[in-house]
Amino acid sequence: MSLTFQPAVYSDGSLLVLPRPVTRLRLQNAWDAEQFKVPLSAGDVRGSASANGIDILVEGQFSSAAGSILATEAEMLAAVESLRAALSPSGFDARYEFFLYHDTGSDTYRKFSGCTTARFESDLSEASLFTYSLVVHAENPTLLTTAPGS
């Protein structure tokens, strides 16, 4: 098995691989727990810990998209709009899947489900290369191995 780093969004039946290069991708895990303190006693007691969803922080550049080099501002702007559309699924309860890796040989994936966009920022000020940053929240903290849509 040879997993390939291929961040992508699967929404409304279509897969959009994030524009490349993806310069940074971080997963933020957090846990909540009850915490109790006894007055006049040193320390505290924690219990009932549970995992929160995952925040996925992504930074990248609009250098290429869908295997094509983006050489002009118009091409990069079109890629910005495509990414914005994929990150904004239709409907109030709409969620998407966020893929990290794919192995074409064994058709194996690594993805998070129940995803929504917390923040999307694109910097269009450098005409030669647009950049973006993205925060995706995955409700399910489990890294899944299923195919798109399953």
Other beta carbons within 10 Å of 90: 8
* 43-77 confidence digits (pLDDT tens): 998 888 899 999 999 999 999 998 899 999 999 99
pLDDT of residue 83: 95
Q: How confident is the model at residue 1 (pLDDT cuts 50, 70, 90)?
A: low
Would you say residue 142 has pLDDT above 70? Answer: yes
* 76-124 confidence digits (pLDDT tens): 999 999 999 999 978 778 899 999 999 888 888 999 999 999 999 999 9
pLDDT of residue 112: 98
Rg, C-alpha atoms of the chain:
19
pLDDT of residue 49: 85
For the domain bounded by 5-138, which CATH number is listed?
2.40.30.200
